[in-house]
């Protein structure tokens, strides 16, 4: 590309599609190759060039998927999983201020969010929480390894209309059924929608476990919550 044109792109902070894709690929690679320092520099570069924070986040998530595959293939071990999680979290911290807040003022609705009992994965849940907050929801984040009773207590205390559960392990995902059953027992099931997500789940499993919705990505999950609010839950 002629130097003059490059200069112009730099000035107006608009990158040609090819350069944009290249930067995002580099972001993905940094996660896969566990290059935390480089990732931070790259994220800043992406933001400086006007790349949407959500696209950068998606590239990071693709990298995590690759890390998972490497773990499965025994190319990576637990230490690499832990390290990739730490790198992801640092990157996420840089992106958070840029995930645009859509609405100011009164919260749309209260959503109680947590990772199912005996599951310690929280990266996907944290993305869902960040995006929900940015979309104007009040979020009560219960963290990881959350017993079903805690979900129900939090719904009562906060008059929540939506419960979001994350599940990454196939062994513990059935714990979602316990949350749904306890909500029923407390007489809250008809007042509360349950949305689930995470790598351990599919649409079919979510239905079998008694959830109202399954979302493959946090973005889709937020869209479903918005739709529920628009339809008055
Ligand atoms: C990083 C990681 C870890 C880190 C977690 C760090 C952290 N703070 O979260 C650590 C090292 C702790 C870890 C531990 C273990 N892990 Co692990 N881990 C992963 C890995 C590589 C990435 C997960 C991740 O963060 N992905 C990135 C995020 C962005 O993706 P996501 O979580 O799917 O979230 C997206 C969507 O699913 C959605 N979403 C997620 N939750 C929700 C919730 C709602 C409501 C909605 C709407 C949407 C939504 O939104 C997100 C963005 O769009 C996965 C591989 C994989 N493919 O998932 C394995 C994986 C999940 N782990 C696995 C295993 C086996 C383990 C261990 C048992 C390993 C061990 N021997 O100890 C332990 C379990 C510990 C425990 N009790 O939980 C297996 C699970 C296999 C299975 N089918 O059960 C996987 C699939 C790896 C593999 N391929 O074998 N792990």
Rounded Cα distance, 216 and 214, in Å: 7
- pTM, two decimals, is 0.90
Atom 22 of ligand 1, nearest CA residue: 64
Is the per-residue pLDDT at 180 higher than 50? Answer: yes
Our answer on whether the CB atom of 123 is closer than 6 Å to any ligand 1 atom is yes
**Which of 167, 168, 205, 214, when mutated, tests ligand 1's pocket best, judged by the most ligand atoms within 8 Å of its CB?**
168
Atom 21 of ligand 1, nearest CA residue: 68
State the average pLDDT over residues 171-182.
Answer: 98
- Looking at the chain, list the stretches that DSSP marks H as alpha helix, in order from N- to C-terminal side: 3-12, 17-32, 36-48, 53-72, 78-95, 123-134, 148-158, 175-185, 203-208, 218-230
Domains of the chain: 3-98 (1.10.1240.10), 110-230 (3.40.50.280)
Rounded Cα distance, 85 and 122, in Å: 9
Rounded Cα distance, 72 and 214, in Å: 24
What pLDDT score does 202 carry?
97
Report the side by side order of strands in the sheet with 110-115: 138-141, 110-115, 162-166, 193-197, 213-215
Is the per-residue pLDDT at 189 higher than 90? Answer: yes
Rounded Cα distance, 98 and 115, in Å: 25
Where residue 159 falls among pLDDT bands split at 50, 70, 90?
very high
Q: Are 163 and 112 in contact (CB under 8 A)?
A: yes
């Amino acid at each position: 590309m002629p130097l003059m044109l490059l200069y112009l792109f730099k000035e107006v902070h608009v990158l040609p599609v090819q350069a944009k894709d290249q930067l995002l690929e580099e972001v993905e690679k940094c996660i896969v190759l566990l290059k935390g320092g480089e990732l931070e520099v790259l994220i800043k570069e992406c933001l400086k060039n006007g790349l949407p924070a959500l696209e950068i986040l998606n590239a990071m998530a693709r990298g995590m998927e690759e890390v998972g595959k490497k773990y499965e293939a025994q190319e990576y071990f637990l230490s690499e999983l832990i390290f990739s999680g730490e790198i992801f979290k640092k990157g996420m911290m840089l992106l958070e201020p840029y995930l645009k807040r859509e609405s100011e003022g009164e919260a749309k609705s209260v959503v109680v969010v947590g990772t199912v009992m005996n599951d310690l994965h929280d990266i996907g849940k944290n993305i869902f929480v960040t995006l929900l907050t940015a979309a104007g929801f009040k979020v009560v984040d219960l963290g990881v390894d959350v017993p079903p009773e805690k979900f129900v207590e939090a719904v009562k205390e906060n008059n929540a209309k939506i419960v979001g559960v994350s599940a990454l392990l196939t062994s513990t995902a059935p714990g979602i059924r316990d949350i749904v059953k306890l909500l029923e027992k407390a007489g809250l099931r008809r007042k509360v929608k349950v949305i689930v997500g995470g790598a351990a789940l599919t649409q079919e499993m979510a239905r079998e476990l008694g959830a109202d919705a399954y979302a493959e990505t946090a973005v889709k999950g937020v869209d479903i919550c918005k739709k529920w609010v628009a339809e008055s839950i």
